[in-house]
A and B are shown apart, each in its own frame.
Chain A
Amino acid sequence: MSSAPQDGPPAGPSQGGPPARASQGGPAAGPPPGGPGAGASRRGPSTGTAVLAILRKEVRVELRTLESVPAMCLFSVTTFVLFHFALDRDSVNGDLASGILWVTLLFSGVLAINRLFVADEEQGGFDGFLLAPVDRSALLIAKFLTLLGFLVVLEIVAVPAFGLLLLEPSVGRVVLRLIGILLLADVGIAAVGTLVAALAVRTRARDLLGPLLALPLLVPVVIGGARACAPLFAAGHPASVPVRWLETLGLYDLVFGLLAYAVFDFLLED
């Protein structure tokens, strides 16, 4: 945490009592007690600056250690190979193709989710962050953007690999629509993934709990994504994508995005 100034007093909510952020979002939450005036009343950088600072750190760490992203990409390509042997198929299309792609993306994503907060937990980054006079959601937003970035890079590698190895119809003709669907789903995966990662990292069984929590929660994303992509991979002519799947993904992103924002603070108090 080299970029955030550490001189201010510890942030208010760390003294206990319900943080002002807690009641935002969330359908059943009541009115926020004191308004979310984050940057104005406290000394210290604004949320945006903090987010950028953490983000820069994350990118730098990832570039230096090359921990998550190459593993994710390699894992996805290996999984495609496995599918080739398991299904005994040279090429797939339609529903099957869509399903294979999404399951692979999901499992590769879980790798990143597992590693997302590990460095912070092991090297005291959480404590350092808590002492900084910044809004705690900055960590959430920064980690969310990091995970989103990782997923995008994964897809840049995995989708062409999929097109090369297993997909029968060519990806090129449906690229734009595919990118749209992938991005929409990535937002949901990143929101849920960040929350689950934060939850799991400070328990004892973190490697086990992460996937166990994330995968059922991500079922709607798989449903929406796979059903949306299936017509795109149809043998012959790609069909149009039913809007309801995009709506499902959008609703999911909205609900879990807000929920993550509302609830994240409670995971950090310690």
Chain B
Amino acid sequence: MYGKGLRALSVTTALVMSGAIALVFFWAPEDADQGFAQKIFYVHVPMAIVALCGFVAGGLMAIAHLRTRDSRWDMRSYVAIHLSIILGVGVLLTGSIWARVSWGHWWVWNEPTLVSFLIIFLLYCTYQPLRFSIQDPERQARYASVFAIMAGAFVPLNFIAVRLAQQYTHPRVLGNISGNLPGKMEWTFFASMLGMTLLFVTLWKYEMTSKHASSQLRRLKRLLGEEGQSTGRRSAAPAPRQRATQV
């Protein structure tokens, strides 16, 4: 069951996130250079890091799926990637706002993290259409896993490549990511990272619970001998096969 412990997890997430936001606005000092606008950093960067880890985690789960042929791994992989895509939208929007504040334009090319994120986002946008265009569920899951592995391996490569490309032509704006932060800012950053990670895990569990419930419902329908009750909607979401759904 995915729902077990979900309540405790969400409460923890709510507490940590509220704490983190409180730290951001009431405790962390203002940046000397960028002023108050630097606070965007505390929401933009954790989202980006968590989204990227989500993509890589989706790839790892896809490897597990291909090795064990257990469709639950495919569902987990799908949800992780799906959530990371949503976070990715947030990353691009907040990144754009930050660019506007820092540089006056709604998009800048000299921030390699943002740029490589755009490329990765464009790649993962094909994930759902890919799933959608394969009817057979087993093949859909398999192909989606292949894609998730490829794309997951691509994430670090892309970062390296884009960073190298920008490094010698443009100065980095986000130079503070790798720990050049003064004490209080660093703690605040860690708090926001923790909050964001917890949020991701909570939402992941949340969606897994919902998917699991729907699949149980479908199984129930079949057990009750209902025919012709096909849900007219086709979804790109994976449909787990009929096994003992013990988690």
Are A and B in contact, CB atoms below 8 Å, in the complex? yes
On A, residues with C-beta under 8 Å from B are: 16-18, 22-23, 26-30, 195, 199, 202-205, 208-209, 212-213, 216-217, 219-220, 223-224, 227, 244-245, 248, 251-252, 255-256, 259, 263, 266-267, 269-270
18 further interface pairs, Cβ-Cβ under 8 Å (given A199-B130, A213-B130, A252-B157) = A16-B69, A26-B153, A202-B139, A203-B134, A203-B143, A205-B129, A209-B133, A212-B125, A212-B129, A216-B123, A217-B154, A219-B158, A223-B165, A248-B161, A251-B160, A252-B161, A263-B150, A270-B139
Sample of 30 A–B contacts (CB below 8 Å): A18-B66, A18-B67, A199-B130, A199-B147, A202-B134, A202-B143, A203-B130, A203-B133, A204-B135, A205-B133, A208-B129, A209-B130, A212-B129, A216-B119, A217-B151, A217-B154, A219-B158, A220-B157, A220-B160, A223-B164, A244-B164, A248-B160, A248-B161, A252-B157, A256-B150, A259-B149, A263-B66, A263-B146, A266-B145, A267-B146
Task: Decide if A213 touches B147 in the complex (CB within 8 Å).
Answer: yes
**CB atoms of A216 and B120 under 8 A apart:** yes
Identify the closest chain A residue to B159 (Cβ).
A220
Identify the B interface with A (CB < 8 A).
59-60, 63, 66-69, 119-120, 122-123, 125-126, 129-130, 133-135, 139, 142-143, 145-147, 149-151, 153-154, 157-158, 160-162, 164-165
A27 touching B157, Cβ below 8 Å: no
Query: Could you say which residues of chain A place their CB within 8 Å of the CB of B154?
Result: 216-217
Chain B residue contacts of A213, Cβ below 8 A = 123, 126, 130, 147
Which of A205, A219, A270 lies in contact with B161, CB distance below 8 A? A219
* Neighbouring B residues of A209 by C-beta, 8 Å: 126, 129-130, 133
B164 touches A29 (CB 8 A): no
Question: Secondary structure of the A side of the interface?
Answer: helix
Residues in A neighbouring B134, C-beta threshold 8 A: 202-204
Hey, which chain A residues are within 8 Å of B149, CB to CB? Answer: 26, 259, 263
* C-alpha gap A259/B63 in the complex (Å): 12
Complex Cα spacing A68 to B134, Å: 26
Docked Cα-Cα span, A27 to B152, in Å, equals 11
A244 contact set on B, CB distance < 8 A? 164
Inter-chain contact A26/B63, CB cutoff 8 Å: yes
Task: Please indicate the chain B residues that have their CB under 8 angstroms from the CB of A23 in the complex.
Answer: 67
| A255 and B126 contact, CB distance less than 8 A | no
CB-CB under 8 A from B158, the residues of chain A are: 219-220
B142–A266 contact, CB under 8 A?
Answer: yes
Chain B nearest CB from A50 CB (Å) reads 22
Q: How far is the CA of A224 from the CA of B134 in the complex (A)?
A: 34
Partner of A269, one of B125, B133, B142: B142
- Residues of A within 8 Å of B153, CB to CB, are 26-27, 255-256, 259
Residues from chain B with Cβ under 8 Å of A255 in the complex: 153, 157
Contact pick for A22, options B67, B130, B162, CB 8 Å: B67
Contacts of B150 in A (CB 8 A): 195, 217, 256, 259, 263
- Which residues of A lie under 8 Å from residue B60 when comparing CB positions? 28
Which residues of chain A are near B119, meaning CB under 8 Å?
216, 219
| Closest 5 A/B residue pairs (Cβ) | A220-B161, A216-B123, A203-B133, A204-B133, A205-B133
Q: CB distance B69 to A227 under 8 Å?
A: no
Q: Within the assembled complex, what's the spacing in Å between the Cα atoms of A178 and B151?
A: 29
CB-defined contacts of B59 to chain A, threshold 8 Å: 28
Q: Of all chain B residues, which has the CB nearest A267?
A: B146
Q: Which residues of B contact A204 (CB under 8 A)?
A: 133-135
Chain A neighbourhood of B164, CB < 8 A: 223, 244-245, 248
- Look across to chain B and name the residue whose beta carbon is closest to the beta carbon of A244: B164
Docked Cα-Cα span, A97 to B142, in Å, equals: 41
Known: A28-B63, A217-B150, A220-B157. A212 touches B165 (CB 8 A): no
Contact (Cβ within 8 A) B122 A18: no
* Contact of B133 with A22 in the complex, beta carbons under 8 Å: no
- In whole Å, how far is A127's beta carbon from the nearest beta carbon of chain B? 14
Q: Which A residue's beta carbon lies closest to that of B144?
A: A199
CB distance from B226 to the nearest CB of A (A): 28
A252 to chain B, nearest CB (A): 6
Q: How far is the CB of A6 from chain B (nearest CB, A)?
A: 24
Instruction: Please give, as numbers and ranges, the residues of chain A lying within 8 Å of B68 by CB-CB distance.
Output: 18
Do the beta carbons of A267 and B143 come within 8 Å of each other? yes
Contacts of A195 in B (CB 8 A): 146, 150
A residues less than 8 Å from B161 (CB atoms): 219-220, 223-224, 248, 252
Name the residue of chain B whose CB is nearest to the CB of A248: B161
Q: Give the distance in Å from the alpha carbon of A216 to the alpha carbon of B220 in the complex.
A: 42
- State in angstroms the CA–CA spacing of A216 and B115 once bound together: 12
- B218 CB to closest chain A CB (Å) equals 24
